[in-house]
Amino acid sequence: MNDPTKALADDGLAPWRSPLARALHRNRALAYARYLQLATVRADGRPANRTVVFRGFVDTLSEKNLLKFVSDRRSQKMLQLESQAWAEACWYFPKTREQFRLSGRMLVVGQAQTRPQQQPATQQPETQHRLAAERQTTWQNLSDNARSQFYWPEPGAPCQPSADFQPVTIDDLHPPETFCLLLFNLDRVDHLELRGEPQNRFLYTKNKNQAWSCQSVNP
């Protein structure tokens, strides 16, 4: 294995992609190795934390190395991300005993992004188009089980008769407006290998010129 402190990629892939891909591969037998915990900040300043499912990387936009998640527009985390886009995910891989702490800003792609009149001035129509396409593809790739949840009653509201949770007719081509794509744009990755002797810990940081560097730090 190469020295990760020198593994600064010039193919557009961030240097932490390689150890993360390795961890995903080595833990692939565990379905829940694709689950990670995402922390955000509530309106009152308290932290929030919940499990989310990793849906792959997005490397087709001008900004590469984005981690992809999905979320219901009606969930609390959407409110939190609206007022504070910073998030930190903690990803523990049980088999290889390593942890990635991923810190950055979350971009929310909802149905609004597909409507040109609601475009933020800062986003080019071309970017808008790609985001909408990515949202639609992600929807199409979900299981029916995962898709059906976006038609359920409002998450977190007092419990309603279970009749409301019965399977619905799912439009497997066009996502409902509750369906949002989350794209996680990192500026800091903290990788800890518990199996080392003593342990290995690498800190990757992105500077203002969008260049990544890596430093070996004490565990």
Q: How far is the CB of 75 from a second copy (least distance, A)?
A: 11
Size of the site for a second copy (CB under 8 A): 47
**Other beta carbons less than 10 A from residue 116's beta carbon:** 9
**Please, are residues 73 and 179 in contact by the beta-carbon 8 Å criterion?**
yes
> Among residues 118 and 166, whose Cβ is nearest to a second copy?
166
Tell me: does residue 111 bind a second copy (CB under 8 A).
no
Nearest to 17 by CA among 71, 79, 59: 59
Q: Which of 79, 112, 168, 203 binds a second copy (CB under 8 A)?
A: 203
> Among residues 38 and 183, whose Cβ is nearest to a second copy?
38
Q: Which of 14, 87, 109, 189 binds a second copy (CB under 8 A)?
A: 87
Q: How far is the CB of 33 from a second copy (least distance, A)?
A: 9
Instruction: Give every CB contact of residue 9 below 8 A, 6+ residues apart in sequence.
Output: 15, 17, 18, 212
Q: Which of 3, 10, 11, 197 binds a second copy (CB under 8 A)?
A: 197
Tell me: does residue 210 bind a second copy (CB under 8 A).
no
Q: How far is the CB of 131 from a second copy (least distance, A)?
A: 24
Task: Write phi, then psi, for 139 (nearest 5 degrees).
Answer: -60, -45
Nearest to 73 by CA among 212, 182, 191: 182
Type of residue numbered 21: A
C-alpha angle 66-179-34 in degrees, rounded to nearest 5: 45
Residue 134's Cα: distance from chain center in Å? 14
Tell me: does residue 154 bind a second copy (CB under 8 A).
yes
**Contacts with a second copy, 66-85, as mask; x by CB under 8 A:** ------------------x-
Please give the biggest Cα pair distance in the chain: 57
What is the contact surface with a second copy in residues (CB under 8 A)?
30, 32, 35, 37-41, 45-51, 84, 86-90, 92, 94, 99, 101, 103, 149, 152-160, 162, 165, 197-198, 201, 203, 215-219
